[in-house]
Amino acid sequence: MKTLTLTRHALLACAVTLLVGCGSSAADTTALSTTAAAASVVDAATASTTDADDATTGVADDTTTITTPSTTTTLTADETATLLFVREEEKLARDVYLTLFNKWGTKTFQNIALNSEQQHMDVMGTLVATYNLQDPVVIDTIGAFTDPVLLGLYQDLVMRGSTSLNDGLHVGGFIEEFDINDLQEAIDEANAGSKPADIIAAYTNLMCGSRNHLRSFVGQIEKNGVDYQAQVIPQATVDAIVNSPEEQCGK
């Protein structure tokens, strides 16, 4: 992405005032960040929890098929940076949701983290290996990140999401809106560059998954009697997504 470095720093500054007017007009926001979380999150995420309000979580099958790239496909420097960033971006979503599940016990966080974000991480990891790139996910520990911007944002998101369950659900909405915006930029960049079909397909399916996750978080928020306000992408886009049916991604 042409503005990746600048927008990362802008988002990190924005994260300090997360969910208080920082995002709804930021149509080109781009970045995520992390640091350390308790190892007990992983154990807690596998525990059995009953939550009637989480019967549906908006996690459709978003399987992504990876195809072998042509031997002539060479990614541009921007495409390479974006691919590596998206790999850790998916880890950020997983780690935040597992941490918030550990805090609140709401299975929406657990289901999206383990049934979707983990798969997204794995898909991006396969692409990193396919293109012989150095994987930024050196340690798969909750809260461990190579990108310092993602490291810092992880802390901000967890802190905000730990204030109340409603704030936690809004953090989920923020992450998914951010991903939708970021992935669209990634798709546009790839289409304008080397046109790697496997990477474009992966980004497309990840964005489909993010739309489903946004539907889930907004549904939970509004079930609690709160009107959801867009945080990153335009309100009209959010409304169009949440008012449309859940998608079967990768089909």
Q: For the CA atoms of the chain, what is the radius of gyration?
A: 17
The contacts of residue 183 (CB under 8 Å, 6+ apart) are: 86, 203, 204, 206, 207, 210
Closest CA to 178 of 29, 1, 8: 29
Task: Convert the pLDDT of each residue in 94-107 to its tens digit.
Answer: 999 999 999 999 99
Residue 14's pLDDT band (boundaries 50, 70, 90)?
Answer: low
What burial letters (b/e) apply to 170-192, b meaning 16+ CB within 10 Å? bbbbbbbbbbbbbbebbbebbee
Lowest mean pLDDT among 22-26, 114-118, 181-185: 22-26
Within the chain, where are the H helices?
A: 4-15, 40-45, 77-104, 107-112, 118-130, 148-161, 165-192, 197-223, 235-242
Mean pLDDT of the 148-169 span: 97
φ and ψ of 47, to 5 deg: -75, 155
Q: Which residues of 11-43 are buried (b: 16+ CB within 10 A; e: fewer)?
A: bbebbeebbeebbbebeebbbbbbbebeeebee
Residue 171 Cα distances to 162, 174, 232, angstroms: 10, 5, 11
The string of pLDDT tens digits covering residues 20-70 is 544 433 333 333 333 333 333 333 333 433 344 554 444 544 555 555 555
Q: What is the DSSP letter of 49?
A: -
Reported pTM: 0.81
Residue appearing with tokens 């996750």: 213
Read off the pLDDT of residues 200-224 as tens digits, 9 standing for 90 and up. 999 999 999 999 999 999 999 999 9
Specify the pLDDT at position 121.
98
Q: In the structure encoding, which two tokens stand for residue 200, read together? A: 């474009």
Q: What is the pLDDT of residue 21?
A: 47
Cα separation, 70 vs 93, in Å, equals 30
Report helix, strand or coil for 47. Answer: coil
Closest CA to 43 of 94, 95, 102, 96: 102
Q: In the CATH scheme, what is the code of domain 75-251?
A: 1.20.1260.10
Residue 171: closest CA among 91, 118, 246, 228: 228
Check residue 101 and give its pLDDT: 98
Q: Enumerate the domain spans of the chain.
A: 75-251
CA angle centred on 215, ends 201 and 7, rounded to 5°: 60
Q: Which residue has the higher pLDDT, 27 or 251?
A: 251
pLDDT at 7: 54
**Overall average pLDDT of the 152-159 stretch:** 97
